[in-house]
Amino acid sequence: MYLAEDAELIRRLLPHEAHPPNDAESLFLGYAVLMRVKGLDCTASDVHDTWAAWMLGHDPHHPALVPFGNLPPDVQRQDLPYVYAIHAAARERANV
């Protein structure tokens, strides 16, 4: 399926400093939707919102389940590798 292929592409393009959670297939499907809907306009806030929606089903009391702007800068930076991977995947898909 195309979304699963996009999710795998994003996972492959993820920088080494990122540490995605285990059992995150559905999270990466959300990132694939972000890639298709927002492409290069995808932001760290978008990535955080997608993660937050996914996290609600895993740990609804996680301390980072707050709006992106309320996160400390070091926590906000954790979303950047995913933004980079989504942007790289969007560029790759545009060249296909």
- Can you give the residue ranges of every domain in the chain? 2-94
pLDDT at residue 36, as a whole number = 97
Is residue 20 within 8 Å of 14, Cβ to Cβ?
yes
Q: Measured in Å, how far apart are the chain's first and last C-alpha atoms? A: 16
pLDDT at residue 69, as a whole number = 97
Task: Report the chain (96 residues): mean pLDDT per 10 consecutive residues.
Answer: 97 93 94 98 98 96 98 96 98 88
Residue 46 burial (C-beta neighbours within 10 Å; 0-12, 13-18, 19+):
buried
Helix (H) or strand (E) holding 11: helix 2-13
